[in-house]
Structure 1
Amino acid sequence: ESFAYRCLPLAIANAHGWVMLNPCGFSARWLGDVGTHSVEIVLDEGADKKRAPVSLFGSGTLTFHVEGVMRTSEGWNLWVGGPPNAMKDGIAPMGGVIETDWAPYTFTMNWRFTRPNHWVRFEENEPFCFFFPTPRGVMDRLKPELRPMEDAPELLESYRGWAASRAAFQEWIKQNKPKTPADQWQKLYYRGLHPDGRPGAPDHESKIRPAEFRQTGSRRVCPAGRSSARKPD
C-alpha cells in the first residue's frame, strides 16, 4: 500500500537533491579497532580497485572518493550526506557542508560503522551520497524564537480544529473500513489545505523534479559513461 510514499515530507526529502552512485559492488565490515587496518573490504569479482572505497580515517570509517570537483554559484554551499530515508543496518552516513563556490578541492563521502563484526553490503549503482545546494550564511541570519501558541490566536484555533478533526477521523477509521487505502488519510497537508479547506501557501509543493545533470564542455566526463549524479527514485 506504499504507506511511506503518502508522507509528503518524506517524499519531498527523498527528491530534495541528487545522488552519486557506487561504482562497484562490495561488502565491508569493521573489526572494532581504531586503526585504518580494522576495516575489511571485499570487492565483487571484476570490480575496479582504483574506484573502490577505502579505509582512510580509521575508527570504523568507510570512505568513498568523489570523482571531480563540485561547483556552485557564488554564495552557495553544498550539503553532503547519505541518501535520505535509506537506512543501512550496521553503518550510518556522515554529513558535511562544503563551500563549493570557491574551493578547488575534492571531498570524500564517509560512512561510519555502528558496531563491529557485522558485514554491510553496497551494490553497484546503489546511491552512496546525497547532495543539494544551500545558501551560505543563512543559519547566522535566522533568529529562532519560542513563544506560546496563545500569542497567535488564529494559529491556535486552526490547530485545535485540526486536532479535533483528526481525532474524529481516526475514530471513524476504527469503526468503518475504508473503501480504498487512500481513504485512510485526510490528506490536508498533502493537498496544501488548512483544516477548514482554505488553500495554504500558493507555492505548496506536492512533488519536486530536480533537473538532470547534463554534459557540457569539450568532452564527456561522466565516470564509466554513466550519469555522475541522478535524482533519487
Structure 2
Amino acid sequence: MSENANELIAYSLHPNQLADVFPEPAPIPRDWMDSAHQRHPYRCLPLVIANQCGWVLRCPVGFEAYWYGGPGKGDLELRFDRPDNRIVSHFGSGVITFTVPFLFRTPPGINLWVKGPANWIKDGVQPLEGVVETDWLTSTFTMNWKMTRVCEWVRFEQGDPFCMLVPVPRGLIESFVPRVVSIESEPELKKQYKQWEESRSGFLVGLTSQNPEAVARGWQKDYFQGKTIDGKSVESHQTRLSVKPFQENPKS
C-alpha cells in the first residue's frame, strides 16, 4: 500500500499486457471537435475540462461488433483484427465486455467512477458506467458497452479509448443540501446575471447583423478567461488540467 494519501495505484495483474492497455491521462482532442467548423467546440471550456478529467484505457486491438438483437451471449458477434480474448460477449443483451487488467486502489473514502470517455462519440454503442469502492475492493471490474443498433456493424479501432477513470469522494453527493430559491433573494447576483444577459443578447444581435466589432471579437471569452462580469479574474480558474501520468514501478 502507498504512504501517499493522494496516490492512485493500478496493480498490474498481467504485466505482459501493460504495453497496449496502460492507463494514461485523458487527452483534450476529440475527432468530432477537430472536424467542426473552425474547431468551435474547443471554445467551450466545460467540454475541454471534462475531456481531461481522469485517465483512459485504450483498446488493445481493432474489432467489429454485430448484435443480432437477442438476449443471449451468442447474439453478439465479435470479429477481431487479430485474436484477442480480452474483449468478449459475457453478459448477453448486446453488451461488449472489456477486461481491465488492473486492480485499482484509491485512498480511503475515494471511489472510482468507471465510465466512457467524456464527449467521445461512437454511433451504435453506448458505454455503461459504474461507481466502484476501490479503496477496499480486492477484485477487479470490467468496462462494458451496450450495443444500441441491431444488425449493424460497429467498429472499435486499436487505440480507441474504451474506459475513463475518475476519482470521486464517497458521500460527496449525499452531503449536499439542494434547494431552489428565487434569484430575487440575491439582488447582487441578479444584477450580475442581468448584466451578463444584456451583454450576451447584445453580442448575439451584433453577430447576426454582422456588426464589425462583434464579428472581429468572434466569441465571448469571459468564462474561458475566468473573468467575472465586472472584469475581475478568478484565481482558482482552470483552462487546462495537469493530470499526472501513471508511473510504472519495476520493483513492485
TM-score (normalised: structure 1): 0.88
Q: How many residues align?
A: 215
- The residue type paired with residue 50 of structure 1 is N
Deviations 1:80-123 (A, max 9, x none): 11011111111100100001111011100000011211111101
Match of 2:219 among 157, 161, 185: 185
Are residues 1:196 and 2:204 paired?
no
Residues 119-174 of structure 1, C-alpha deviation per residue, up to 9 Å, x if partnerless? Answer: 11101111000111111111121111111111111111111110110110111112
- Please state how far the C-alpha of 1:50 moved relative to its aligned partner: 2.5
Runs (5+) with no aligned partner, structure 2: 1-37
| 2:241 matches 1:208 | yes
1:205/1:178 CA distance change after superposition, 3 Å: farther
Cα distance, 1:209 vs structure 2: 1.7
Between the aligned residues of both structures, percent identity stands at: 43
Q: Does 1:18 find its partner at 2:52? A: no
1:35: which partner in 2?
Answer: 72
Q: Which moved more, 1:137-146 or 1:16-25?
A: 137-146
Q: Distance in 1 between matches of 2:74 and 2:194?
A: 57
Per-residue Cα deviation, 1:51-80 (whole angstroms, up to 9, x for no partner): 3x1111111111101002011111110001
- Structure 1 distance, partners of 2:232, 2:226, is 9
Which of 124, 147, 151 is the matching residue for 1:117? 151
Deviation at 1:187, TM superposition (A): 0.8
Question: CA shift at 1:178, angstroms?
Answer: 6.0
What amino acid is aligned across from residue 15 of structure 1 in structure 2? Q
Aligned-residue CA RMSD in angstroms?
Answer: 1.7
Cross-structure match for 1:7: 44
* Aligned partner of residue 160 in structure 1, secondary structure: helix
Aligned residue type for 2:239: S
Name 2:188's counterpart in structure 1. Answer: 154
Q: Which runs of 4+ in 1 moved over 3 A?
A: 177-182
Distance in 2 (CA, whole Å) between partners of 1:147 and 1:104 is 44
TM-score in terms of structure 2 length: 0.81
| Structure-1 residue corresponding to 2:174 | 140
Residues 1:49 and 2:49 aligned together: no
Q: 1:180 to 1:167 in 2, by over 3 A?
A: closer
